[in-house]
Amino acid sequence: MVKKILSVAGQKGFTLVELLVAATIIGMLVIFATTSYRNGVAETRWAEAKANADRLAAAVQRLNLDYSWVQFSNTPVTNVVSSECPLRFGAQHLSSYNPQVLINCDYLENGPWDSEYFQYYICHNRTSAPCKTYSSEKPVACVQVRSGASLPSKYKSYTYCYYASLGGKENP
């Protein structure tokens, strides 16, 4: 009886064509799942980068309330910090400060500023990319995808800037 069930119409297994069709279908499902996963990870990273740019802008605004004369240099924000805050009482005032002054003076926590995917900028006196004026307002802080980042191609030219009165604006 068992032999009869296994050998229906003289077949004892799957044909090569049936196995190839099944392998092709599984391969296509893997490709779609991988692409969907990569896009999901990229969306999450981009959302985190936008939130970090908002935090950076809030820190710049808080620092400007305390020290309205501070000007920032045109360098990206990095995690290089020192233990000294150059703005404390008795410190020598410079013509421009590195963005790390936000971390050194406890306006911003040391975080993902050296990301392999994104670069963060303070747009205080910066006129080059990614700090673009929108509706005659200059952004406070911006983030852009770092060149050579391993993100899907649709994110390569993305920029996000935070404006004091407009909030965040994304420029894909």
Read off the pTM.
0.78
For the chain, the straight-line distance linking the first and the last C-alpha, in angstroms and rounded, comes to 66
> What distance lies between CA 46 and its chain's CA centroid?
4
Count how many domains the chain has.
1
Tell which residue, 43, 103, 50, 99, has the closest CA to residue 70: 99
- Of the ranges 38-47, 90-99, 115-124, 154-163, which one carries the lowest mean pLDDT score? 90-99
Q: Is 7 among the domain residues? A: no
Q: Is 6 among the domain residues? A: no
Of residues 80 and 40, more confidence is placed in 40
Share of the chain above pLDDT 90, in %: 28
Amino acid at 33: A
Q: Is 10 among the domain residues? A: no
Q: In angstroms, rounded to a whole number, what is the distance separating the alpha carbons of residues 51 and 18?
A: 50
Q: Is 4 among the domain residues? A: no
Q: Residue 118 belongs to what domain range?
A: 15-171
